Amino acid sequence: MKDRHLVVSAVNFSEGGPLTVLRDSLATAAATLGDRWRITALVHDHALVDVPGVETLAFPQSKSSWFRRIALEWWGFARLSRRLKPDMWLSLHDMTPRVTARRQAVYCHNPSPFYAPSVIEAWYDPGFFAFNKLYLWLYRAFIGRNDAVIVQQEWIREELGRYHRNVVVAHPGGQAMVTATPLTATLRRPDRTAPLRLLFPALPRVFKNIETLCEAMARLPKPLRDCVELCLTMDGSEGRWARALYRRYGADPTVRFIGRQDRGGMAVEYARCDMVVFPSRLETWGLPISEAKSFGKPLLVADLPYAHETVGSYSAVSFLDARDPAAWAAAIEAVANGCWIPQGQGGTNPAAPFFADWPSLWAYLIRDL
């Protein structure tokens, strides 16, 4: 008999890492919570979630404007919660809804409120600039209604700890898979005649730091420029910033714009590449870092707190100044010449309360219900 009801709201998710978090959370809930729990997911589109045992309610207008989104979170979900009568309501997308539930929690995955955009970034992505200014206020609104605020990394806990007494760190579900990967991954290039293939899996957002990586490629010595290629998962049509990047670097033979990839396509790209590079200046987690580890790929990543925490224990990694193209060029040159010496790192878990995977997080969230 299903006498408990879990509602997971994620109406703003449709792609990338956030969608992976939604699917992982639902699959784990369905597999571990038991027969007493009915599970309902509130989504943008029914097609985004296909998990046995999970019902979906779709809200296709939720992404059409911020006014609609706020109205849904603060008034629409209030009415819906009175009908669904949830025992546990988990909001996966940052905002705390005004709902009636025995317990509720919010998962804060977006780090943009803690990032100061430059004038150039504001010009190329004004939406991100406005979003950056608005989002901390949205984070804080009604945050006290939650039993727990969930974040992916310690540095975000420190930021949000000013606004809530119980901020817990929970690693994304894929991290459990990564820990089984050998920690002695090395650069393996069976075909030395083929170019060194670098992969940067990222959407063309201003904070992803794609330009620094492209500048690094432009600085490579001429003899190496036929021996290295950088693959970017964009095609230049995605927006103002993407078009600017394509105009500037589209003619560079060392930079390949391979377009956005689906999950299967990304698996192929990870398998084909020799190394994953990740210079992003802002991430909640940096899922490609975890995915690269699961494929045993060596890494060049930004020397920033999020990257150190996501890398964890791994030998085949070096950390570089995110804003220094010369440092990235030197590292890529060393890799291409076969003289790269990885920095490596031994990771430690965050302080309690900390949950390494979704099963342990779900057990905590539904305790005593």
Owner of token pair 């309501």: 89
pLDDT of residue 192: 62
pLDDT averaged over every residue in the chain: 89
Residue 82: per-residue pLDDT: 97
Every domain of the chain with CATH number 3.40.50.2000 lies at: 4-171+352-365, 178-336
Least confident of 94-98, 148-152, 193-197, 245-249: 193-197
Within 13 Å, how many C-alpha atoms sit on residue 284's CB side?
Answer: 22
pLDDT band at 257 (very low <50, low <70, confident <90, very high): very high
- How far is it, in rounded angstroms, from Cα 147 to Cα 70? 21
Whether the Cβ atoms of residue 220 and residue 228 lie closer than 8 Å to each other: yes
What pLDDT score was predicted for residue 177?
Answer: 33
Query: In angstroms, rounded to a whole number, what is the distance separating the alpha carbons of residues 74 and 151?
Result: 22
Q: Does the pLDDT of residue 273 top 70, yes or no?
A: yes
Mean pLDDT of 130-148: 85
Examine residue 223 and say whether the peptide bond preceding it is cis (omega within 30 degrees of 0): no
CATH architecture of the domain with range 4-171+352-365: 3-Layer(aba) Sandwich (3.40)
Tell me which of 3.40.50.920, 3.40.920.10, 3.40.50.2000, 3.40.50.620 is the CATH number of domain 178-336: 3.40.50.2000
Q: Mean pLDDT, to the nearest integer, of 308-331?
A: 95
Global confidence as pTM: 0.81
Q: pLDDT tens digits, residue range 175-217?
A: 433 333 334 455 665 556 678 999 999 999 999 999 999 999 9
pLDDT of residue 20: 84
pLDDT greater than 90 at residue 171 = no
Give the lowest-confidence range in 187-191, 230-234, 303-307: 187-191
The predicted pLDDT at position 184 comes to: 47
Instruction: Give me the pLDDT at residue 272, please.
Output: 94
Look up residue 36 and give its DSSP letter.
T
Q: Please give the DSSP secondary-structure letter assigned to residue 356.
A: S
